[in-house]
Amino acid sequence: MSPRPEEERMRMEVVNRIENVIKELWPNADVQIFGSFKTGLYLPTSDIDLVVFGKWETLPLWTLEEALRKHNVADENSVKVLDKATVPIIKLTDSFTEVKVDISFNVQNGVKAAQLIKDFIKKYPVLPYLVLVLKQFLLQRDLNEVFTGGIGSYSLFLMAVSFLQLHPREDACMPNANYGVLLIEFFELYGRHFNYLKTGIRIKDGGSYVAKDEVQKSMLDGYRPSMLYIEDPLQPGNDVGRSSYGAMQVKQAFDYAYVVLSHAVSPIAKYYPNNETESILGRIIRVTQEVATYRDWISKQWGMQSRTESSCNGNQLPPSFGVGASAVWEFSN
C-alpha cells in the first residue's frame, strides 16, 4: 500500500485547487500540508491535512466554505464546518478525485509533528513499512479514528517509535532488519505484554516508559492519565492518546494478529488449509477490490504504470504493497 508517484501527483492537484481558492481570497495567506501526506505515510484512502496561516480577527471558516462551494472544488454535500471543535476545521471531499481534505487555520502543531516524524524516519528506516501495515490493519477494523475511540496516526507512529527505541536487539533499527519479525514483535508487545493500566509511553530523550502514578502527581485534581497515555514530545503535558477510549479493543486486535502470524510462521504451518494460496501478511490484512479499482483509476488518470499489476483478490495483497520491499517482508527468525 505504499504511495505511488501518480497518487502523489493527484493529491497535489487537489491541494493546488484548494490553494488557488484560498489565494484568491487572501493573497498573503500561507497554505501548508501536514499529516500523512506530508510525511509520505498515507494510504490510498487517507485524508489530506492542510493548515492556512494568516491574520484574521476571527477564523474565516465560513468565508472559505462559501468560496469552496462557489468554485465547485468540493462535493456540495461534503463541505462541513466544525467550528465548535477543539481545533475548528473545514472538512470536504474533492469533487473529482473523492479525496477527503481537512483544513485548519493558524495551527502550528501539525506542521511541527510532520517534521518530527520525518526526523524519526531518517533515524529508523523501518518505520514507513511498519506504520503503513499497521495503519491498514487498523483501518479495516475501524480502529483508526480517534473520534470513534481508535488510535490516530500520530499515536500509532509514536507507539512504533517507542517500540524501536526500547527494542532489545540493536539490529532491529537497521535498514536490513527483518520487517516481518518486527511486525510480530510489535503485535506481541502491544497485544500481550504492555501494561496499559500502569504504564505510559515517553519518546523524549531516547525513549522510556513512565509510571502513570508519577504522571498523575503532576496533573490537576480529578484528572488522571488515559488508558493509552503517550506523552507528546512536542507539547509537554499533552496526552496524545487521551481520546483513544477504545484502546483495549486495539490491544485485542493486536493480540489476535500476534496469534495469527505466530501460527503462520510455525513449523506446522505448511499443513494449514490455504497455506499455498494465502500470504502470511494476507492472513491479517485485506485490500478491498474497491480500493484496488480506485488505485487503477488513479494510475490511468495520472501516470503510466511502471509495471503490469494484477488486481487484488480476496486472498492476496496487490504487488504494489511495500513497493521496493517485497523481500524484507519475510517472517523467518
Give yes or no for residue 319 having a pLDDT over 50: no
What is the Rg, in whole angstroms, of the alpha carbon atoms belonging to the chain?
21
What is the average per-residue pLDDT within 116-120? Answer: 96
The residues, any chain, with a CB within 8 Å of residue 195's CB and separated by 6 or more, are none
High-pLDDT (> 90) share of the chain, %: 69
Cell numbers describing residue 299: 494510475
Beta strands in the chain (DSSP E): 30-34, 48-53, 80-82, 89-93, 100-105, 199-202, 208-211
Q: What DSSP character marks residue 94? A: B
pLDDT tens for residues 100-112?
999 999 999 999 9
Q: Which of 24-33, 75-84, 219-228 has the lowest mean pLDDT?
A: 219-228
pTM to 2 decimals?
A: 0.86
Cα 120 from Cα 173, distance rounded (Å): 11
- Give the Å distances, CA to CA, from 80 to 12, 33, 47, 52, 197: 22, 19, 14, 17, 37
pLDDT tens for residues 231-279?
999 987 889 999 899 999 999 999 999 999 998 888 776 666 666 667 8
Give yes or no for residue 95 having a pLDDT over 80: yes
